[in-house]
Amino acid sequence: MTSVNLRKDEAETPRAGNGVPLLAVRDLHTSFFTDAGEVKAVDGVSFTLERGKVLGIVGESGSGKSVTAYSIMQILAPTGKIVSGSIRFNGQELVGLDEKAMRKVRGNRISIIFQDPMTSLNPTYTIGHQLEEAIVLHTNRDGKEAKARALEMLKLVNVNEPAKRLKQYPYELSGGMRQRVMIAMALACEPDILIADEPTTALDVTIQAQILELMQDLQKQLGIAIIMITHDLGVIAQLCDEVIVMYAGSVCERGTADAIFYEPAHEYTKGLIRSIPRDENNGQRLEPITGTPIDLLNMPAGCPFAPRCDHALKVCLTRRAEEMWVGEDHIARCWNYVREQAEKGIATLEGGGIDG
């Protein structure tokens, strides 16, 4: 099959911007070795994150979006292991780094906040104690300075009555407030990257709006880069500059938020957008993605989405498409795109042909 616009090499190299990207993940493979066999939770993920940008990773449960984040932080469960690939932070390779060196990065240069702020906070210590501990551990500040910094951080994340909160325990705070405390803790060391793993999923809509607004403000104010992991396309649309769509451990498509929403190229992305209720399909039947979620222990040979894809071609069942450019800063791995381009190509062939 001739490839149209199939320029894999370029997809592999960092784009645009001169110099080293803030974070460059290349062909990351992370597996969990279970009694039932090897589960390839992350199966060849590549992306770059530039300074001050918000990258969204969207996917359903089991798509590998959280494991990608945990691999970057190297906080995988004991059965999980980075099998191959490279994660470069500011040019420094993180894969294979010893624990001592990794600690200088984790929580310091790259921070993470989790879905459930209740289980991420220690119920037996006050908010102040936990914030100060993080500050003392990661910076040169001593106890007194740490206390002042903790107060400053709570003010930064718009917690009301910050001095009082420092003396309170996690159970005394509401869910939204706890998530603010987590953000304060994550930002206390002025990291370059904040990874947010479903930070608003456990929160109510109006509280979610507050937290998203806060994250947007902080991102602008502090110039940090954010990796936003979520299953909610609404959150993605609201917050992200660039988006990665994951399915069964690998990237289906990546591009700007506008490209992903308005010109999706991968059949899975298209299906995902068609299946959510929006203004455009209001009053009509939703078009769901058929079938059931993939079993990571029994991965198909070709495209993992092929068994559920309404437009699967023969080639989809046997061979996976490589990453190809489908537009400026827009990459997808879908044979259907190739087919569409070929059809269009034939149509324009008389006019001047297609470029190779």
Partner 1 sequence: MAENSTLLEVQDLKEYFDINTGFFRSRPLKAVDGVSFTIRRGETLGLVGESGCGKTTVGRTVLHLYKPTGGKVIYDGKEISGKESLREFRRKATMVFQDPYSSLNPRMTVSDIVAEPLDVHKLYKTKKERNDRVLELLKYVGLNSEHASRYAHEFSGGQRQRIGIARALAVNPEFIVCDEPVSALDVSIQAQVINMFEDLQEKLKLTYLFIAHDLLVVRHISNRIAVMYLGKMVELADAEEIYHHPLHPYSRSLLSAVPLPDPKKARENKRIVLSGDIPSPLNAPSGCPFRTRCPHATEQCAGSMPAFDEVEKGHFVACHRIREIG
276 is a site residue for partner 1 (CB under 8 A): yes
245 is a site residue for partner 1 (CB under 8 A): no
140 is a site residue for partner 1 (CB under 8 A): no
Tokens 């770059």 correspond to what residue? 48
Shortest CA distance to 228 belongs to which of 196, 203, 253?
196
Which residue stretch of 181-189, 204-212, 220-228, 335-343 sits at the interface with partner 1 (rule: CB under 8 A)? 204-212
In the bound state with partner 1, the residue whose beta carbon lies nearer, of 160 and 318, is 160
184 is a site residue for partner 1 (CB under 8 A): no
> What token pair was written down for 302?
């070709």
Shortest CA distance to 30 belongs to which of 60, 58, 69?
69
1-9: long-range contacts (C-beta < 8 A, 24 or more apart)?
1/315, 1/338, 2/342, 3/324, 3/338, 4/338, 4/341, 4/342, 4/345, 4/354, 5/324, 5/325, 5/326, 5/341, 6/322, 6/324, 6/338, 7/324, 7/325, 8/322, 8/323, 8/324
In the bound state with partner 1, the residue whose beta carbon lies nearer, of 101 and 286, is 286
205 is a site residue for partner 1 (CB under 8 A): yes
d(CA 43, CA 342): 28
Q: Which of 73, 195, 212, 306 binds partner 1 (CB under 8 A)?
A: 212
Residue 330 backbone phi and psi in degrees, to 5: -140, 120
In the bound state with partner 1, the residue whose beta carbon lies nearer, of 23 and 233, is 233
234 is a site residue for partner 1 (CB under 8 A): yes
Beta strands in the chain (DSSP E): 23-34, 37-49, 54-58, 80-89, 92-93, 110-113, 193-197, 225-230, 242-247, 250-256, 324-327, 330-332
Q: Which of 258, 328, 329, 343 binds partner 1 (CB under 8 A)?
A: 258
168 is a site residue for partner 1 (CB under 8 A): no
164 is a site residue for partner 1 (CB under 8 A): no
What length is written for the chain? 356
34 is a site residue for partner 1 (CB under 8 A): no
> What token pair was written down for 350?
């008389």
In the bound state with partner 1, the residue whose beta carbon lies nearer, of 212 and 324, is 212
162 is a site residue for partner 1 (CB under 8 A): no
Tokens 């930064």 correspond to what residue? 156
Q: Which of 115, 208, 250, 269 binds partner 1 (CB under 8 A)?
A: 208
Site string for partner 1, 48-77 (x = CB under 8 A): ------------xx----------------
261 is a site residue for partner 1 (CB under 8 A): yes
344 is a site residue for partner 1 (CB under 8 A): no
How near is the Cβ of 169 to partner 1 at its closest, in Å? 17
287 is a site residue for partner 1 (CB under 8 A): yes
Give the amino acid at 141: R
CA dist list (Å): 49 to 6, 237, 311: 23, 18, 32
Residues that bind partner 1 (CB under 8 A): 60-61, 160, 174, 176-177, 204-210, 212-213, 231-238, 257-258, 261-262, 271-273, 275-279, 281-282, 285-290, 292-293, 308
